[in-house]
Structure 1
Amino acid sequence: MTIRSTLRRRIAAASATTLLTITGAGLLGIPAAHAAATGYTTASVTVRSGTNTSTTALTTIPAGVAVSVQCQTAGQTINGTYSTHYWGKVTYGGKTGYVSRAYVRIPDATGLKECTTSAPAPDISAARQRVLDRGMNWVNRRIPYSMYNYTAGPDADGYRWRTDCSGMIAMAYNLRDQSYYTGNLTSKFYPIAKSSLQRGDIIGNLGDPASAGAAGHVVIFNGWTDSTKTRFRTIEQTGGIGATQLTRTWGDSFWNKQGYRFRGW
């Protein structure tokens, strides 16, 4: 074999090795490590900066839209078309973020792997996350507001709570020992400073027996919207709307000037 032939064989082998390195196992029909999967939105879904509903909303994808799910990662459990704690990384309208797979149908998820860089995780305890998840159960079910009606929470035994604001708090914290309203919730919650509020705490005018009915209100605190701690997100039952998520302004009403924390934490 001549020196020229030997060089040609070595160059060919090196080229083949380079091609395999560039294309990866795809040459052998094996999915790439982070292959995307096509999904279809089952409802209008918000693209967020992280994997929980308190993170920044980037854009909204309408129902019935095909999206490329780049990878998936664990986050807040959402009860939607499906019940899941997985969120998919997508790009839509020039915005890249995360959507709950509770509203994304993926016919073939073969090759869809965990995201290599995890999205921002909720900075709260599992107990606090359960409170938020239980509150969202009524929001997702669109439970109407009533001071007289009762409905079940997410529990398998079907235990029922009154469907007003304090009934939602009792349901979210799974308080079953008595009927609660804004006047007696202080037996389970103690006042805290505004600066100490964390997601899963509550805000309301509690402790006054005269605060029953329209004279009282209480909500689940779900995070500040800005560094000035002026506006905050809620999960709540409110008259005329029902179970919902709202953004409120601190101190602009008779009920939203004091935070409280569960005595069991």
Structure 2
Amino acid sequence: METPVFEEFDPASDCECPGCVHWRRVMPHSSNAGLVGHPAACKALVLAAAAGTVLGIGQPTPAVAAAHGPAQPGIPAGDEPDTPQGGKAPLHGPEGRPPAKPGKPSTVTRTPATTRAEIINRAKEWVAAQVPYSMYAYRSDGYRQDCSGFVSMAWHLPGNEWTGSLGAYGVRISRDQLQPGDILLFHNPVDPHTGSHVVIFGGWTDYTHTYYLAYEQTRPHTRKQATPYRYWSNSDRYLPYRYKGLDGGASGAVASSPDTKVTRYPGHAYFGYGANNAYVTQLGRLLVQRGGGRFYTSGPGPRWSDADRRATQAFQWAQGWTGADADGLPGSETWSYLVGNKGKDIPAPVEAGSPGPQPSAPSSHPSSHGVPGYPGRAMFRPGAHNPYVTQLGKQLVKKGFGKYYTAGPGPRWGEADRRNVEAFQRSQGWRGGAADGVPGPETWRRLFS
């Protein structure tokens, strides 16, 4: 008697029955089909197999048809949002009643002032408390425990919004303008309870800008985790927004066109290694107009480079500024001098063919007790490309901590640099955040002493 052959299958990851929702949360996604599927279907397979074994007569028992289609490839089912949401409601919700059915977004929006740090800190409070997900429950702070209520709380809005109205409290921005405290919003107007979701952007996880840290309210409770841009699925529908009420007008939400012209200082976060935005282009063009053209071999362009830093520092030196006031990063005063055409231009080189001041040289930072001056953490951000990275790498090799280099070391900060620094930090007995692979002042002092 032949044993009947059955078709094995994975459930489609978008099934909303209680069994599939449960197993998506507790079982990891597997690309190999197996007997993990819809509970009813699995039960049917067992019963059919038993029946085929007992009866065993006539034609072979046909395979049981899969209760669902094939699993969506490449999507970890446990990370898909299952986030039905309530509608717009006041703080603490309608008196003893479930939230009303979502309606049209209000045209009147009040945006209390807040800061990026406050937004992230409020989000972290829910993460630490592991607030259970619910479209009906309201926490003691008055906000509904679903995805849109979570963002309403973090943005400190006067009431509980939903995905159809949150956009009115923000300004659309581009991907390269995303900063911690902004949101990625997907509202499905056809069926708001299906697929609609919103998460808080917590910062890029690496220099490739393919994954970011997402704070979100989803089943079973608030979480923080690395998430692909823009989300696990429907990636073309998640749109970035910036809260209108950022304190001090720091929203910086303007078009990211290279021709953007702004006179107000956008904030220090738009400059430095890893930055890629229209303000960097504008800065470079202003510096070229003030005599900084010799520092650029191409551009200026939107990606921050050592040429931008050197030209900025040369302009700061021309004003007679020193120390922290001439660090090569444009502060509000440097910016106002450039856009207002104030102060002195960058002087010409001392002699023909001379490159002029070399702010990128490691010696530009004063030394102490024979140890080269620490240049700052900004020199070792993802995407950094400068002589300090080379200097650090050579010292790591000299100290016997260069095993992760396959070539170099060189001026571009990479994962090999980070892992070698981490190995050195752990050799000092440090753990946790003290051994994150990014050299701080004490790491630098010990490495070069």
User: Could you tell me the TM-score, scaled by structure 2's length?
Assistant: 0.28
User: Could you tell me the TM-score, scaled by structure 1's length?
Assistant: 0.46
Larger Rg: 2
Which one has more relative contact order, counting CA pairs under 8 Å at least 6 apart? 1
**Counting helix residues as a fraction of each chain, which structure ranks higher?**
2
**Counting strand residues as a fraction of each chain, which structure ranks higher?**
1
